[in-house]
Amino acid sequence: MADPSTTSPLTRASVQVAHDLIRSHIHKTPVLTNKTLTQLASTPRTAADLEKEGSNPEWKGRTPARPVLRLWFKCENLQRIGAFKARGAFHAIERLKQEPGWAESGGREKGVITHSSGNHAQALALAARTNSIPAYIIMPTISAPPKIAATRDTYGATVVFSGSTSVEREAATARGTMGLELQDQVLEQSSSSSSAGLDAIITPCGGGGMLSGVALSCEGTGIRVFGAEPSFEGADDAKRGYYAGERVEAVSTLTIADGLRTPVGKIPWSIIYERRLVAGMYSVTEDEIKAALRLVYERMKLVVEPSAVVGLAVALFNEDFRAMVEREAGEKGWDLGIVFSGGNVSLDALGKLFA
Amino acid sequence: MADPSTTSPLTRASVQVAHDLIRSHIHKTPVLTNKTLTQLASTPRTAADLEKEGSNPEWKGRTPARPVLRLWFKCENLQRIGAFKARGAFHAIERLKQEPGWAESGGREKGVITHSSGNHAQALALAARTNSIPAYIIMPTISAPPKIAATRDTYGATVVFSGSTSVEREAATARGTMGLELQDQVLEQSSSSSSAGLDAIITPCGGGGMLSGVALSCEGTGIRVFGAEPSFEGADDAKRGYYAGERVEAVSTLTIADGLRTPVGKIPWSIIYERRLVAGMYSVTEDEIKAALRLVYERMKLVVEPSAVVGLAVALFNEDFRAMVEREAGEKGWDLGIVFSGGNVSLDALGKLFA
């Protein structure tokens, strides 16, 4: 049982090593800007906005915050298999190939196995196929038929149960590679403008692998990292744990951000909370997620899944976050990196969401 | 009445001049690749595919072509106002500002006027606002309410009728600037692969401004340029004219590719046909456009309008085009640039399309 999440050190340098290992297998996804959304984020909301149905009731009666934000979008929805999880899957396979004795003991023939109902299944199936290694995926019977079909048909994985090497949830280091790219890309792209790189990054938080990985990638750089969650039915477990000082271990929620329904894991928690590498956690309502989703479709022309826009929803609609930016960044404002984590949503599901 | 389309010379060099003029106002939109779509384009279709309902009946019984294609997508759906027409609008205003006597005779105060029901209206409104010049747009009363709202509310234009400088359809040179970028970007991005730049480019053809502009941008480079149209209700006017040797001047069609319902214009025609700068015209059915649209949403995670994917539909489904590529390019294949012209479609319209 190889478990890279426990065998590699969790530092910024190890994120760089992971990046070198997977770079040739993944896309360097584009970093986009958008004038309309940057302007919207830097415009105070109206008192009426803060009171409207679907908004967080806490905002009612507050003076709207006046943050200055310049937004940079890291488009992992354009990553292979449509999500950042391609990074971890290729990393897991490359690490296995490096493991002494794995190939010699028939590891290539036995193949790899994991359990996942979503993007991770497709990602591992692709990474295994690229290396001509069989992949076995344990999927819950309630998995969405298109995700089962893509895993089996498009990426050639099998749905069986034993004998193979377990490839558990990939290391935070692999997911943090996207944070490294984002930092570099903003520096390259902002050379002609007044900004000198990012001040902060906000990412969605489900199991916490991506958030903690991005936090590692920013260690020692001065860039602040924030996490974003849905508030629906207690999906904001990491936020509640973060402010209570204790990890919430179980969650049961049907938020539309279906990639963020899981509680934060133990190793990510150690990075997010115990090592204090995440500077704050914020949550948003279902209506705020939908509003952000619509803006990304109509204004940015990108297909993203609901989970992907939770960070943008915080930047646009969470008055606690916005007031903090106003206070910390002042008139100069912040360059804020926003991670769009994935784009795996069916056209039928989208139609229902906006019907 | 300034009409830049007649006053600037129509050569590759004039496209470069236009590019310098507008570069700071527009996005250099990304060029993306996609392994799934490249693989699909390079896989022969099955006999059953060629016979299925919604396919062109001409393909029935043919031996499926075996082209080798590597696809490069120029994403003008990510351009400002969501379409390539931003290029022409900024060009028109910059040319006006250069015109002797325009400012002195009160041109800035009188403003600019045009007629358009769609992307051009929004583009001119934005370009005018950026220059603090009033814009007046004549829109048909049947225009889609969201397009009227965006033109008026988001970009601050007025819907009035007289006294101002007419800014007619922008020059092909301005639209060809996108072809220049595409050529350069593919060279930059393919430095690590085996390709040495593009062999061909295919773009949608409505009024023909973009197709003829891209053709100008390829003049003397050896890159072949092709046009793509819907076949529904005679929307393939440029194709019919091209092979009959005479421009078709009127068309009445309700193809879902609503940006391509107009007949090809006189000046574009002179570039496309009379100067032989376009190497061929191809058309696709409504079902083929929808299939391409679904692939772009689900596989590329991009929001595009139906008109934008007509070139991709040709590459994937038009057996005449595919057989020509097989014949001309052989086993080595072609690097084919595909232009996604715009992404202005409402979520409601999309829902209906795929319901």
* Same structural domain, A282 and A226: yes
Predicted confidence at residue B141, as pLDDT, reads: 65
Q: Report yes or no on B65 lying in a domain.
A: yes
Note whether residue B262 is domain-resident: yes
Query: Same domain for B205 and B124?
Result: no
Q: What is the pLDDT along chain B (355 residues), one digit of tens a residue?
A: 344 444 567 788 888 988 999 999 999 998 988 989 999 999 999 999 999 999 999 999 999 999 999 999 999 999 998 999 899 899 999 988 998 998 998 889 988 888 776 788 889 999 999 999 988 887 766 566 666 777 777 777 776 544 566 665 556 788 899 999 999 999 988 865 666 899 999 999 999 999 999 999 999 999 999 999 999 999 999 999 999 999 999 999 999 999 899 899 999 999 999 999 999 999 999 999 999 999 999 999 999 999 999 999 999 999 999 999 999 999 999 999 999 999 988 888 888 887 7
Contact indicator for B93, B56 with CB cutoff of 8 Å:
no
Same domain flag for B100 and B31: no
- Sheet harboring B135-138: ordered strands across? B135-138, B112-115, B165-166
Asked if B82 has any chain A CB less than 8 Å from its own CB, the reply is yes
Is residue A326 in some structural domain?
A: yes
Name the token pair of B18: 């236009």
User: What residue type is assigned to position A212 of the chain?
Assistant: S
Q: Is B28 designated active site?
A: no
Is residue A239 located within the same domain as residue A291? yes
> What is the ipTM, given to two decimal places?
0.83
Residue A2 lies in a domain: no
User: Contact A76/A339 with Cβ under 8 angstroms?
Assistant: yes
How far is residue A76 from each of residues A82, A114, A150, A210, A331, measured CA to CA in Å?
Answer: 7, 22, 19, 11, 30
Q: Could you confirm whether B52 is annotated as catalytic?
A: no
Same domain assignment for residues B179 and B109? no
The CATH number assigned to the domain holding A111 equals 3.40.50.1100
Q: Residue A5: what are its φ and ψ, rounded to 5°? A: -70, -20
Q: Within this chain, do residues B184 and B212 fall inside the same structural domain, yes or no?
A: yes
pLDDT of B139: 72
Using CA atoms, how far apart are residues B308 and B193, in angstroms rounded to an integer?
27
Residues A327 and A228 in one domain: yes
- CB contact under 8 Å between B302 and A303, yes or no, is yes
Q: A137 with A271, same domain?
A: no
Helix, coil or strand: residue A204: strand
Total count of residues recorded for chain B: 355
- Chain B residue closest in CA terms to A294: B347
Quote the CA–CA distance of A254 and B34 in Å, as a whole number.
32
Tokens describing residue B251: 């068309």
Closest residue by Cα to residue A207 from A254, A170, A164, A167? A170
Tokens 């191809």, located at residue = B282
First to last CA, chain A: 46
Which chain A residue's Cα is nearest to B39?
Answer: A154
- Please say which residue of A166, A195, A211 terminates a domain: A166
Position B155 in a domain: yes
Q: Is residue B1 part of a domain?
A: no
Q: What is the pLDDT of residues A65-105, one digit of tens each?
A: 999 999 999 999 999 989 998 998 999 999 889 989 989 98
Please name the residue of chain B whose CA is at the shortest distance from the CA of residue A300.
B78
Domain endpoint, select from B166, B191, B221 = B166
* A contact residues 13-52, partner B, Cβ 8 Å cutoff: 30, 32, 35-36
Amino acid type, B39: Q
Which domain does A114 fall in, by range? Answer: 82-166
Instruction: Tell me the torsion sign for CA atoms A174, A179, A182, A186.
Output: negative
Please identify, among A104, A131, A166, the residue that sits at the C-terminal boundary of a domain: A166
Higher-confidence position of B191 and A47: A47
B83 DSSP assignment: B
CA distance A67 to A328: 9
pLDDT of amino acid A1: 37
Express each pLDDT in A128-168 by its tens digit.
999 999 888 877 665 666 667 777 777 777 765 445 666 65
The SS3 assignment for B348 reads helix
Beta pairing partners, B83? B342
For residue A298, the chain B residues in CB contact (below 8 A) are: 303, 346-347
> Is residue A179 located within the same domain as residue A257?
yes
Q: Which of B96, B89, B105 is nearest to B163 (CA)?
A: B105
User: Rounded distance, CA A15 to CA A37, Å?
Assistant: 30
Q: How many folded domains does chain A comprise?
A: 2
- Considering only residues A58 and A164, tell me which one the structure prediction assigns the higher pLDDT: A58
| List of chain B residues whose C-beta atoms are within 8 Å of the C-beta of residue A354 | 347-348, 351
DSSP run (H or E) holding A228: strand A224-230
Q: Amino acid identity, residue B86?
A: A
Identified catalytic residue from A5, A8, A116, A117: A117
Q: Is B5 part of a structural domain of the chain?
A: no
Closest CA to B122 of B85, B95, B87: B85
Dist CA B314 CA A338 (whole Å): 36
B40 neighbourhood in chain A, CB within 8 Å: none
Contacts of A35 in chain B (CB under 8 A): 80
